[in-house]
Structure 1
């Protein structure tokens, strides 16, 4: 492979803001919920690079095929690998694709094929485009992207009101939010020079356990649960990102709830291998077991989260505060705001 921009490429990043930015010279795009992927193509050679330098090529053979059919012979394209279902984007199905067995990868590629959404062009032919303004890179990408099923150009608009509509209307389809870029922006690797507006809400959850921090000191994350309509406590995710001092404080604060924690605990029988349980293996690192320490499910935490997918928080939550005034039994899914799914195809209407 011999391209003007060679792997690895550290993708350009965005910093979080709370409102859709407004001003001249801005372009807005939906924020896709998938695997960030930089594609390198030099003739018959095609490589899918990830944000963490882990090659994705072997896990998505169907994406390699559609890119070979729809990209120029020599190019570098930044985008997102996604799995689209009738209910929207599915990050869970996407994660299942990271499997060591080639036979399993082929089976899943046929059953739940992934798609690719392109949103930037870093090189074309012998030309390095990373120093070219984004507005020109976008126009070139529109011109060279082939009409192939499963290969999409991300919608874009210069109208902040349209971006605000996308932010609200397409959340139910699994989108993370909206990204804003300057039209004069060069491609700056591994720098947060764009803006992203992400969905964020709070929920009161039962603290049913915790995981020790990887350094062995204090609480690394709180294991959270919500009661379903049948009165069963379901694992909904974790809250983390504590300072070293806060991790030690939490260990002391949780100590009373560790006493006789397994007596009558609703998750006492979990063996640590069931999908979605606190003791399950990490999909990102199969050798790592996410072991946990049970707590009597009597403590309630208000947690900030982005959105729910398949009954669990899509991303790690953040602890806002403990709620001693709340009865744990009142922490149900009913408190969560439900966003109706939007038709995924509705946003592929071209550039506004």
Structure 2
């Protein structure tokens, strides 16, 4: 491989802002695996945000790159799995598997798509030093007539359209809007773009905690708090965790939570998976560490009597898509009032209405 921009390259990043800024180019924020495609003829590599190659996991996209992209190019984009119900991030996570036979099977069962949104190189030309407006125009020319599963993300310079996307596209599994300065160059690993994401609050039941990785018997520290919501059958479902605390606060929580610990004879709604061994070979609620089979997934169960308010971005199925953030204790709320009914439901939206041929 011999390209003007060679792998590995860390992709350009975005910093969070509370509102959509004026005077930029706007595009949907796709929820998948960020990836840079490097193509030099039949030599193809899919890079990742941590600069490790992902090529072997997506053979169907390698074939699509050979069929659809220019012979020599470097593109920035997102690998997604699209369904009739929107983007499926959990299915995408399952694609990262060490067994070649499973990779082949999943490539057929849950094929991925690539959404292109920036151009780093084309032919012998390095585009990283050019303003985004020029990169986007060249990308549109390079991908004119491209077919699925390769797609070009839509863009607009109309802030009203961007605001409508922000509201409507969440129902298809997208998680906000990206704003790119029109005169901005491509700067790897620099937060020079802007991301506007949904932030909501929910009142959740505190059902347990995990010890911090640095916790010791002499210096116990709480790592994360486990959150629950009651479903329509009044079953307490695990919805996520909060864990961004200072070391001092982690130590304080040990004493605060001690009165809620269960006695030997008391039952817990999640008793069947409180022990780490229960997670071996199966996917139970709260199993958030499929990437590290050696991680201790056990937790300290607490009586589900206390309520806390958290900030979250959006839901993926019955759980928070990303780590939630602690806001405050809600001692004025009863645990049984913490149900899924309080959560805001986004407008249902078809992926095919965003990018033609995606999700259909």
Structure 2 partner of 1:118: 116
The answer as to 2:174 corresponding to 1:167 is no
Structure 2 partner of 1:296: 303
TM-score for both structures, normalised by structure 2? 0.93
Contact 1:36 1:51 (8 Å CA) reproduced: yes
Structure 2 partner of 1:87: 85
CA distance in structure 2 between the partners assigned to 1:22 and 1:63 by the alignment: 35
The answer as to 2:155 corresponding to 1:148 is no
Change (3 A) 1:29 1:129: same
Deviation at residue 269 of structure 1 after TM alignment: 1.4
Unmatched runs of 5 consecutive residues or more in structure 1? none
Deviation at residue 291 of structure 1 after TM alignment: 2.7
Contact 2:181 2:193 (8 Å CA) reproduced: yes
What SS does structure 2 have at the residue aligned with 1:170? helix
Structure 2 partner of 1:176: 175
What SS does structure 2 have at the residue aligned with 1:52? coil
Structure 2 partner of 1:344: 351
CA distance in structure 1 between the partners assigned to 2:58 and 2:235 by the alignment: 37
Structure 1 partner of 2:258: 255
Pick from 58, 61, 64 the counterpart of residue 59 of structure 2. Answer: 61
CA distance in structure 2 between the partners assigned to 1:281 and 1:226 by the alignment: 17
Change (3 A) 1:289 1:46: farther
Deviation at residue 284 of structure 1 after TM alignment: 2.6
Unmatched runs of 5 consecutive residues or more in structure 2? none
Structure 2 partner of 1:202: 201
CA distance in structure 2 between the partners assigned to 1:131 and 1:290 by the alignment: 46
Contact 2:262 2:301 (8 Å CA) reproduced: no
Counterparts of 1:185-334 in structure 2, within 5 Å, are: 185-216=184-215, 218-260=221-263, 263-270=266-273, 271-273=278-280, 274-278=282-286, 280=287, 282-334=289-341
What SS does structure 1 have at the residue aligned with 2:239? strand
Structure 2 partner of 1:12: 12
What SS does structure 1 have at the residue aligned with 2:179? strand
CA distance in structure 1 between the partners assigned to 2:189 and 2:15 by the alignment: 11
CA distance in structure 2 between the partners assigned to 1:262 and 1:348 by the alignment: 56
Deviation at residue 261 of structure 1 after TM alignment: 7.5
CA distance in structure 1 between the partners assigned to 2:30 and 2:252 by the alignment: 37
CA distance in structure 1 between the partners assigned to 2:340 and 2:22 by the alignment: 35
Instruction: List, as ranges, runs of 4+ consecutive aligned residues in structure 1 with deviation greater than 6 Å.
Output: none
Matched residues, number? 346
Farther off after superposition, 126-135 or 208-217:
208-217
Structure 2 partner of 1:41: 39
Contact 1:262 1:294 (8 Å CA) reproduced: no
CA distance in structure 1 between the partners assigned to 2:297 and 2:153 by the alignment: 36
CA distance in structure 1 between the partners assigned to 2:336 and 2:85 by the alignment: 30
